[in-house]
Amino acid sequence: MIWRIFICLSVLVSLISPASGAANAANWADEIIYFVMVDRFADGNSNNNQDVDRSNPLAFQGGDLVGLKENLGEIAGLGATIIWITPVAKQIEQPINFEGEDFYPHHGYWAKDLNRIDLRYGSEIELKELVEAAHGLGLKVILDVVYNHLGYGMENDSAFARWLRSEDSCGGDDLTLCLAGLPDFRTELPEVQRYLFEANVGLAERVGLDGFRLDTLKHVSHAFWQAHRKEVDRRLGEDFMLIGELWDADRFLAKPYFANDEVDALFDFSFRDRTLKLLSGVYDADKFGRYLVKRHEVKEGYFLAPFLSNHDMAMMLSVLGGDKQELAMAATILMSIEGPPVIVYGEEIGRRGGIWPDNREVMAWGERNIRPGAGLERDETLREMFVDLIALRKEFASLRGSEIEVVYSDRDVLIYRRGADALVTLNRSEEPVVVEVGGLPGGSWEMAFSSVGSTTGVISNLPARSARIFVLR
């Protein structure tokens, strides 16, 4: 298929817009977030390959900070502007038994000591070098941090025991629940708060991080997050980015977190859910259009970050049964709505990880000798489609702005205008469709992107199972 229609050289440079309504949310609207699970991306230092067993998907695979730094060009070349990486704090050393398999903390969410970097990922010096190298390429770095819990067994460590809820002391509400049986920090204690702030904010100060992804947001109190924001603003500045994970988040669940400036953005779980409903036929296109118009009605200056996949779910391509034409339609919507879009590592090259743990497969590198994914097949044509969509989003501010209007919708067809100079057409049916579209601004509307192999087209003619973007030049 032909993805590239016309892309100017100027769109290779990220656009910078004026600061939004909240001082802390500077430039969020313009960002493209690329998520990397450090252990699954690239192995740059084989000397730290402790507990690596590539025959066991629950073991370490060898990816590290050095490998990520050496392959930042892969991410910058895609057009991303932010790298979000999984936690790198010192993890528990022994695996847990899961259905007879050794399950190691390769993901980074079972910390033993938040004041140290786990040697299986690298060192603090290497984290700082990664951040500096990313900045040299115009990339920001967001670190995933966990304030809610430590790793399994840490309730037996005398240094932490009095700070943790576990077993019988766990509660039944969101704040005192021991999530997945993990020992839960008593974040209401001032000494616990001081430890957590110094460990995470202190690390950000030393290595130059640009933001945090806040894990398990609803399992920590609003009072904690408000105190955290004050600490971040004081020590890291008001442009330090905070994006939170709130399961099932949408514009309604976001309200209390945005009301008191606890975070700048939340991941938009509603978007993935509604997009799947559209593509599977549960929603008709008309209903999906009504959702799109309302989805980002949040407090000014704050954002919902849409995504198709994440590391706790089956990849979108897997849920779609491997249908890359449907993935292309979903990606077109993702890149043409408000809020910083999130791409999970490998989504752009057709990684098809199914349900856990397959959704955490290693990055595929094709013919490049980059372990652990050397030799694994990748779809470069699909990647080029993502490159084109990201470039187009950067070129046209309307595609990332707040103005959206449905100009046509029925059961299978949706056409929506973005600002004054961009239009998105979708046809999910198995047949081409001709529709009458009126009320558009005058001028020359040109097709700038097509998810199917056509280099020309008009707005009224929609190929089967297609997504297109038209622009006014």
CB 169 within 8 A of CB 175: no
Q: Are strands 241-244 and 211-214 parallel, antiparallel or unpaired?
A: parallel
Domains (range + CATH), the chain: 9-402 (3.20.20.80)
- Position 311: which residue type? H
Give the pLDDT score at 252: 97
Give which of 171, 130, 178 is closest to 152, Cα–Cα. 178
Phi/psi at 454 (5° precision): -140, 135
Given a cut of 70, the residues of the chain with pLDDT beneath it are 1-26, 455
Give the pLDDT score at 106: 98
**In Å, what is the CA distance from 143 to each residue of 82, 128, 167, 374, 445?**
10, 12, 29, 26, 41
Give the pLDDT score at 455: 65
69 Cβ contact partners less than 8 Å away, ≥ 6 residues apart: 44, 126, 129, 130, 133, 134
CB 32 within 8 A of CB 340: yes
Give the pLDDT score at 453: 79
**pTM listed for this prediction:** 0.94
Total residue length of the chain: 473
User: What number of CA atoms fall less than 13 Å from residue 324's CA on the CB side?
Assistant: 17
Give the pLDDT score at 443: 82
